[in-house]
Amino acid sequence: MKRNLESIALKSIPIRKKPVLEVVNVSKHFDLNGNARSVLDDISFSAASGEMICIIGRSGCGKTTLLNILAGFLMPSSGVVKVNGRPIRKPGPDRCVIFQEDTLFPWLTVRENIAFGLRSGTIGDKHSIDSEVDRFLTLVRLHEFQHYLPREISGGMKQRVAIARVLILQPQVLLMDEPFASLDYHTRREMQNLLLAIWMELNQTIIFVTHDVDEAITLADRIALIDKNSGHIREVLAVPLSRPRKTEIPEYIFFRKNLYESL
């Protein structure tokens, strides 16, 4: 047993695939009444195609600020973010964001919400759009609720719609800002399992912000730990546990203990 536990000791593993997303020496400070307040300091990491990275840290460490920079909602004070080698300077269809609140259009049905991005653009004819919407309704297990309005479905279902609405646009990178934080424990676990199933089906690159250590271990290939005091990434850690990850096994408990100590 000791040998098994030692084999999963926390360690950083360098990325081996060509990165889709590159974050290079990114810092961010805000001017508050003439004083510069540093939030992020010299952040660097990469995400490969089909990789899921969770970003964790204590409240106020800059997780959401970093995600907003990746989305193009904020510009860094220094450094650069690249998608497929191209610097990003504004929001774009290559990066889609899912927030904690579902942000659905309340006057549109589940089906219409999912189809919105395709119908408002120039992607395909009606038949091909309908076929793709059917595919994503099946992926998020909402086909029987396709004609319901958002007010008629649960919080977990709303987040399923939100996930389908952005993934149907085939972004290079999906950015998720604590999307399951407001859900109850059982619904949250269901959503984590559903996200993993969709991720494995679509091979989507995902950056997932969370404050929940168990959620990060459940979902991530690698976990980036942001230090609250310095605003710097302390470590990027590989999760050396096979999926599905069982919380009761010694390897999981050992890894979780070490991750908490690193935070």
Alpha-carbon gap, residue 106 to 101, rounded angstroms = 13
Is residue 159 included in any domain, yes or no? yes
Is residue 211 included in any domain, yes or no? yes
H or E element, residue 217: helix 213-219
pTM of the model: 0.89
- Per the structure, the count of domains in the chain is 1
Is residue 230 included in any domain, yes or no? yes
Residue 113 domain boundaries: 50-73+90-262
Here the CATH number for the domain that contains residue 129 is: 3.40.50.300
215: Cβ–Cβ under 8 A, 6 or more apart, which residues?
54, 180, 188, 192
Cβ atoms of 118 and 132 within 8 Å: the answer is: yes
Q: Along the 263 residues of the chain, how does pLDDT read in single tens digits?
A: 444 544 444 554 444 567 999 999 999 998 877 777 888 999 999 999 999 999 998 888 889 999 999 999 999 999 999 999 999 999 999 999 998 887 899 999 999 999 988 876 555 678 888 999 999 999 999 999 999 999 999 999 999 999 999 999 999 999 999 999 989 999 999 999 999 999 999 999 999 999 999 999 999 999 999 988 888 898 899 999 998 899 899 999 999 998 888 87
